[in-house]
Amino acid sequence: MQPLLASDPHRVGDYRLLARLGRGAMGGVYLGRSRGGRVVAVKVIRPDLAEDPEFRERFRREAVAASSVGGFWTAAVVHADPDAEQPWLATEYVPGPTLHQAVADHGPLPEATVRGLGAGLAEALIAIHRAELVHRDLKPANVLLGPDGPRVIDFGISRAMTGNALTATGMFMGTPGFFSPEQTLGDEVGPPSDVFSLGAVLVFAATGCGPFGEESTATLLYRVAHAEPDLSGVPDGLRPLLAACLAKDPAARPTPGQMLDEIGESSPHGAQWLPPAISDVIAQHATQLQQTASAQLPDTPPPQPVAEPKPATRSYTQSAPAPAPPQPAPQPAAPVVAARSEVEPMRGKIVPAQPRQTSQQPRVRRDNPGPVFATAGRFRALVSALVCLAIMYGAYRLAQSGLGAGGRYAIFQLGMLLLGISAAWSAARVVLPSLRLKVNSDGLLISRMGLTREIPWSQVQRVGVVGSGKRASVAVWFTEGAAQRSALWHRLRPHHGGARVFPIGATGGWLARRQEIRRVRTALQQHAPGRYDSRML
């Protein structure tokens, strides 16, 4: 827990906010207390996202989805207001770390704990699927370890099994390494997808690493869809069950009920289900929670940083004296009040107020998950360079055997020069590093040779895929005043008022190019809601 900042809200709905619990892509999470003394976790989305109708609808869907799920092992929704100026969602507070934090700090969990974790999460999936929902993003960061068992949180991208979803079928949703092959390939996603993710989560809990490693997003995408999981570090008693959960064929995976039958009576029980080190962390969380929740708070929100605005305003008039200027080592406020009538007016000495510091420029975080695309064609460039060199060598031998001087020799020299330039250009393409594009919730990150260009979504008015075949590109229309310029390592090509920022047509052959165009469109649909224009050609 961290103290509230001056910029943080102090009350949301009927809840007084006590401390900061964390911050994610959607906004801040705070510890709150109701008027009756109940402690909750309050998620408040960012003001800029609240202005996006599609994002607001996604938040409304999360609130409805989470409210409809019952069961023991999901964080119960207490209250929500998707129509507020800053939409918020209040859930029960679980005084414990996430599974990701626990494993990162204390190492893999013992087999008995993993069994208990699997039983609790399987029962949570039963409750989620009974509500006709698919979680779609079950991962270690979305599992809280409570004193009496795990809790599944974050239904932000859950989707109803029936009816139309907010996002298109086949959209890239989830976290690389923990989502299912059908999510990767854009197939229909159902309850077996959550079982696959549960298997990956349990492998992480037992080994400290996901079943498909921790490589780049592109590598994980391929391994999830085509490679076998690495279960070498999984205890023998759990390996057959987790191997079945991670089957590529959804029909071959067990149901959550069958997982419970296989695990047996291993449900989390009291404080005995976790190792002592993690139980101590939970006890510390509980103690800190009790101290924070029992702290006396004023009936009104804490004062803002700007103090006594009225006297400051009066000091600009010629009829009223101003308060004394602050001293280098100020004492309590009493001397200022006592000296108010003794100081002389500050006419001619008024210093204009300093401009308020604005927040830093938006950044595109490298570690934020998202698909990565890279230009290809090195093999073709190498073949082209070798062909040019072969033609030059053959022409040279032919010239030595019979080509005479004169006009024909001049034409021969010109042809050799053009072939040499073509060979040099192709050789440069072989050694030049690929241009890489990463799409995530922050924006577009373009890099080459250690140089990067960041294009945050806040600076993008419209984005889409333009052109076809080898001319297909990602095009961006910048907001007013946010346009960027070309660099030696990355050229921006104008396109109808926007700029082509990444050549998708250079990512491979005909088949690979079609697949990459589809992946780019899916990534933009997911990470640039409200800005992606699917009508571009």
The 3-class SS string of 115-159 reads HHHHHHHHHHHHHHHHCCEECCCCCHHHEEEECCEEEECCCCCCE
3-state class (DSSP) for residue 46: coil
Mention every residue, 6+ apart, whose C-beta is less than 8 A from residue 146: 94, 95, 96, 282
Comparing 30-44, 268-282, 493-507, the range with the smallest average pLDDT is 268-282
Comparing 89-98, 110-119, 228-237, 422-431, the range with the smallest average pLDDT is 422-431
Most confident among 23-32, 239-248, 388-397, 412-421 (mean pLDDT)? 239-248
CA distances (Å), origin 414, targets 18, 384, 477: 78, 19, 43
Q: Which residues on adjacent β-strands are paired with residue 493? A: 500
State yes or no: pLDDT of 317 exceeds 60.
no
With residues binned 3-state (H G I as helix, E B as strand, rest as coil), the percentages for the chain, rounded to 5, are 40, 15, 45
Choose the catalytic residue: 14, 52, 137, 194: 137
- Report pLDDT for 361: 61
Pair of tokens at residue 87: 């939409």
Annotated catalytic residue 137:
yes
* Percent of the chain residues past pLDDT 70, beyond the cut: 75
Give the residue from 90, 106, 112, 169 showing the smallest Cα distance to 136.
169
Edge-first strand order for the sheet with 436-439 is 372-374, 436-439, 443-448, 451-456
CA distances (Å), origin 536, targets 143, 159, 186, 243, 471: 39, 27, 21, 43, 13
Q: Which residues on adjacent β-strands are paired with residue 499? A: 476, 494
Tens of pLDDT, residue by residue over 220-270, are: 888 888 889 999 999 999 999 999 999 999 999 999 999 999 887 655 555
pLDDT band, residue 155 (cuts 50/70/90): low
Most confident among 338-342, 421-425, 515-519 (mean pLDDT)? 515-519
User: Rounded to the nearest 5°, which phi and psi values hold at 8?
Assistant: -80, 150
- Report pLDDT for 481: 84
Judge whether 195 and 253 are in contact, CB under 8 Å.
yes
Mean pLDDT over each residue of the chain, to the nearest integer: 77
Query: For the residues 316-340, what does the mean pLDDT come to?
Result: 43
- Report pLDDT for 197: 94
Q: Which residues on adjacent β-strands are paired with residue 92? A: 40
State yes or no: pLDDT of 358 exceeds 60.
no
Q: What is the pTM of this model?
A: 0.54
Give the residue from 366, 99, 365 showing the smallest Cα distance to 216.
366
- Report pLDDT for 240: 95
- Report pLDDT for 381: 64
Q: What Rg, from alpha-carbon coordinates, does the chain have?
A: 30
State yes or no: pLDDT of 342 exceeds 70.
no
CA distance 173 to 371: 11
Q: Which superfamily, per CATH, for 95-294?
A: Transferase(Phosphotransferase) domain 1 (1.10.510.10)
Q: Do domains 1-93 and 95-294 have the same CATH topology?
A: no
Of residues 72 and 101, more confidence is placed in 101
State yes or no: pLDDT of 468 exceeds 70.
yes
pLDDT band, residue 130 (cuts 50/70/90): confident
State yes or no: pLDDT of 405 exceeds 80.
no
470 is in an annotated binding site: no
Domain boundaries, given as residue ranges, for the chain: 1-93, 95-294, 377-431, 434-527
Q: Which residues on adjacent β-strands are paired with residue 463? A: 476, 532
CA distance 151 to 145: 7
Judge whether 278 and 102 are in contact, CB under 8 Å.
yes
Pair of tokens at residue 107: 């190492």
State yes or no: pLDDT of 469 exceeds 80.
yes
Q: Which superfamily, per CATH, for 1-93?
A: Phosphorylase Kinase; domain 1 (3.30.200.20)
Of residues 147 and 11, more confidence is placed in 11
- Report pLDDT for 338: 39
CA distances (Å), origin 81, targets 30, 57, 408: 15, 12, 83
State yes or no: pLDDT of 41 exceeds 70.
yes
- Report pLDDT for 341: 38
Comparing 168-172, 200-204, 475-479, the range with the smallest average pLDDT is 168-172
Of residues 372 and 383, more confidence is placed in 372
pLDDT band, residue 422 (cuts 50/70/90): confident
CA distance 34 to 40: 8
- Report pLDDT for 194: 93
Give the residue from 35, 60, 36 showing the smallest Cα distance to 49.
60
Query: For the residues 62-67, what does the mean pLDDT come to?
Result: 75
State yes or no: pLDDT of 104 exceeds 60.
yes
Tens of pLDDT, residue by residue over 359-373, are: 456 778 877 777 888
- Report pLDDT for 169: 39
CA distances (Å), origin 300, targets 15, 21, 292, 303: 13, 22, 17, 8
Comparing 137-151, 212-226, 246-260, 448-462, the range with the smallest average pLDDT is 212-226
State yes or no: pLDDT of 174 exceeds 70.
no
- Report pLDDT for 378: 60
State yes or no: pLDDT of 309 exceeds 50.
no
Task: Find the helix or strand (DSSP H, E) in which 222 lies.
Answer: helix 217-226
Please measure the distance between the N-terminal and C-terminal CA atoms of the chain and give it in whole angstroms: 49
Give the residue from 121, 253, 250, 230 showing the smallest Cα distance to 184.
250
Query: For the residues 380-385, what does the mean pLDDT come to?
Result: 70
Residue 391 identity? I
Judge whether 466 and 500 are in contact, CB under 8 Å.
yes
Judge whether 252 and 206 are in contact, CB under 8 Å.
no
User: Rounded to the nearest 5°, which phi and psi values hold at 194?
Assistant: -65, -35
User: Rounded to the nearest 5°, which phi and psi values hold at 44?
Assistant: -120, 125
- Report pLDDT for 165: 41
- Report pLDDT for 253: 95
